[in-house]
Amino acid sequence: MNFSILVLLFVTLVWGTTFPIIRAASAHLSGVEISALRFLIAGVCMLPFAFKASRAAWRDGLVLGIVALVSYVTQAVGLEYISSNRSAFITSLNVLMVPFLGLLLGGRLSLQIMSAAVLACAGIGLMSWGGGSNLIGDSATFGCALSYAVYVILLSRLIKGHESRTLAATQIVGMAVMGGLWLVLTHLHGQALQTLALRAEPVWFSLAYLGIVASAGMLFLQAVGQRRVSAEKAAVIYAMEPVFAALFGWLWLNETLGVRGFAGGAMVVAAVILGEWRFQSKRIPGQ
């Protein structure tokens, strides 16, 4: 297993911790507030690197930032209404969306990767699907899956023309500015903006973790990892995120994870292995 794959697996591990953290933070803040604050914190961390970016890096970083911000906000909004396990499953549909969207954009559909994607989604379904459906929560989270699939494809295409750190910096700073504007525009009326600091006080440590580690650090590592990994293969690796999310949800929030959950998680691990497996064709003697 090469270095890029290990980097992306570590990214999914850290992202898996964010599901229960966001779920707990949503008791104090809205999805827009959580997303805006985490990226304002991340933007401050990455601002020194963004100053050195070229115009092309800013252009591509802002495109990535818009798509990524939509996925983060819709996920956070969805977690206000549905469990972290259900959110993880619906978000995982991006694993299937990536190869099909790539095909529409002129890519090629690999039977091996497609099989791994189907196995991953089946495993996540077995592991985390359950009741508690909610139209708003499910719809917002489906939007998260679609926008994230677009993001994975764009990142694989755009990263090759830039330094990983610079592209991550412009993307995150752009997300911080847009998230801040989004926050202000949605809080023009009422007292929500005035009470924001008070409501955020119990979860400042969680917001710092989301901003510094899960956003600034992991978006940089994701850019590093996807430089040498195709979008379709990266999407299969990211299927491990709901496995980690279910595990941390079980540990921290006492969410259910029984025999079915462990069996589904094993299927996802098998899917990641299948996506990385090197099949050797048999050589016929004399040829």
DSSP 201-270: GGGHHHHHIIIIIIIIIHHHHHHHHHTSS-HHHHHHHHTHHHHHHHHHHHHHH-----HHHHHHHHHHHH
**Residue 32 pLDDT greater than 70, yes or no:** yes
Tell whether 186 is covered by a domain: yes
* Range from 18-22, 204-208, 227-231 that averages highest in pLDDT: 204-208
Instruction: Look at residue 40 in the predicted model and tell me its pLDDT.
Output: 94
Tell whether 179 is covered by a domain: yes
Instruction: Look at residue 285 in the predicted model and tell me its pLDDT.
Output: 44
Candidate from 13-22, 171-180, 274-283 with smallest mean pLDDT: 274-283
**Residue 153 pLDDT greater than 70, yes or no:** yes
Alpha-helical regions (H) of 51-93: 55-78, 84-91
pLDDT category at 87 given cuts 50, 70, 90 is: confident
Instruction: Look at residue 88 in the predicted model and tell me its pLDDT.
Output: 72
pLDDT category at 282 given cuts 50, 70, 90 is: very low
Tell whether 83 is covered by a domain: yes
Instruction: Look at residue 128 in the predicted model and tell me its pLDDT.
Output: 62
Instruction: Look at residue 284 in the predicted model and tell me its pLDDT.
Output: 41
- For 82, which DSSP code? S
> Greater confidence, 156 or 121?
156
Tell whether 283 is covered by a domain: no
Residues 211, 216, 219, 221, CA torsion sign:
negative
Instruction: Look at residue 254 in the predicted model and tell me its pLDDT.
Output: 67
Number of domains the chain contains? 1
Q: Distance of CA 80 to CAs 23, 30, 117, Å?
A: 7, 7, 28
pLDDT category at 59 given cuts 50, 70, 90 is: very high
State both tokens at 214. Answer: 């899960």
pLDDT category at 216 given cuts 50, 70, 90 is: very high
Distance CA 44, CA 131 (A): 40
Range of the domain at 32: 3-276
Candidate from 150-154, 201-205, 236-240 with smallest mean pLDDT: 236-240
Tell whether 10 is covered by a domain: yes
Mean pLDDT value across the chain: 82
Question: What is the share, in percent, of the chain residues with pLDDT greater than 70?
Answer: 87
Tell whether 285 is covered by a domain: no
> Greater confidence, 98 or 1?
98
Candidate from 150-164, 210-224, 243-257 with smallest mean pLDDT: 243-257
Tell whether 45 is covered by a domain: yes
Tell me the average pLDDT across 61-78: 87
227, 167 in Cβ contact below 8 A? no
247, 88 in Cβ contact below 8 A? no
Q: Report how far Cα 227 is from the mean position of its chain's Cα atoms.
A: 17
